[in-house]
Amino acid sequence: MQFTAKTTEEAIALGLETLGIEKEQADVIIIEEPTKGLFGRVKGKAVVDIVSKQTDLERATTFVQKVLDLMGLEVKAVLNEDGENAVINLEASEPSFITGHHGEVLDAIQTLAGASANIGNKVYKKVVVDCESYRGKREDTLIKLAKKLETKATDMRREVILEPMSPFERRIIHMALSESTTVTTKSDGKEPNRYVVIVPNDKDEFSKPYNAGRNNDHGRRDNRRDNRRGGKGGKNFGKRDDRRGGRKPQMSGEKKKSSSTISFGTYLGNSLKDNI
């Protein structure tokens, strides 16, 4: 890549910082140097071409290690390559601290590593960052969850809404249920609150979705109340409120109050553009 600055030293420094490498890890070619004109005035700019001696993944690993060092963490970034599979493993004494809730810290580091590895590349290269086999364990957990909620959606004949997940985790849910004969899956919402919806093939059009998100206590109360009433539109719908002198059933022409919105945490992933 070519870099331009007022002086050759500044151009080289800019290039090394952008690529995230040291000078001994780079091949530097000076294309153009500024010249001194009349009365010592400098004309033109310095242009240098810098090529990293490291592979994309080696450069990303070096970058990740620098980020961890700046954060003051005693974590070592180690590149493991096995054929086509390559993973930057983070070796830490306290893995849970570096992975974060549902891997959100690990995902953030992975995003930075992906950006570092793909600087100047025309073809996007995926970078995976792991810590103490967290990715594999999390995948097993999500597959079990997907199968459990597949059964729930089928039995209830209701859509099941999962909590917001990263693109990596949503992809696991989709793949786990891709061959199901009783449900299909789709993604809804906007980042960072994008989530998976499990849709039963034999869906009851009069039933409201079941929200399986652990942060949605309001949704769980609604689900239990609907079950006692026999579902939305059942024969007991609206009677409970009348008996207690509470809210009356909505009459024709009345405006329905909008429900409160639910906010979730932020999840970061490693993709350029994700529709999953």
Domain boundaries, the chain: 2-52, 56-132, 140-243
Q: What pLDDT sits at residue 154?
A: 96
pLDDT in tens, the chain (276 residues): 899 998 999 999 999 888 878 888 888 999 998 887 666 677 789 999 998 887 888 888 999 999 999 988 889 999 988 766 789 999 988 888 888 888 888 999 999 999 888 887 788 888 899 999 999 999 999 999 999 999 999 999 999 999 999 888 999 999 999 999 999 999 999 988 999 999 999 999 998 999 987 544 444 444 444 445 444 444 444 444 444 444 544 544 444 444 333 333 333 334 444 456
Is domain 140-243 in CATH 3.30.1370.50, yes or no? yes
Q: What pLDDT sits at residue 83?
A: 64
Q: What pLDDT sits at residue 100?
A: 85
The closest alpha carbon to 111, from 164, 166, 155, belongs to 166
Q: What CATH superfamily is the domain 56-132?
A: K homology (KH) domain (3.30.300.20)
Q: What pLDDT sits at residue 59?
A: 85
Q: pTM of the full predicted structure?
A: 0.60
Residues in contact with 275: Cβ distance below 8 Å, sequence separation at least 6, in sequence order: 187
Contacts 24+ apart (CB under 8 A), 265-268: 265/101, 265/104, 265/164, 265/192, 266/104, 266/192, 267/102, 267/104, 267/107, 267/164, 267/165, 267/166, 267/169, 267/192, 268/104, 268/107, 268/108, 268/110, 268/111, 268/166, 268/192
Q: What pLDDT sits at residue 161?
A: 96
Q: What pLDDT sits at residue 201?
A: 96
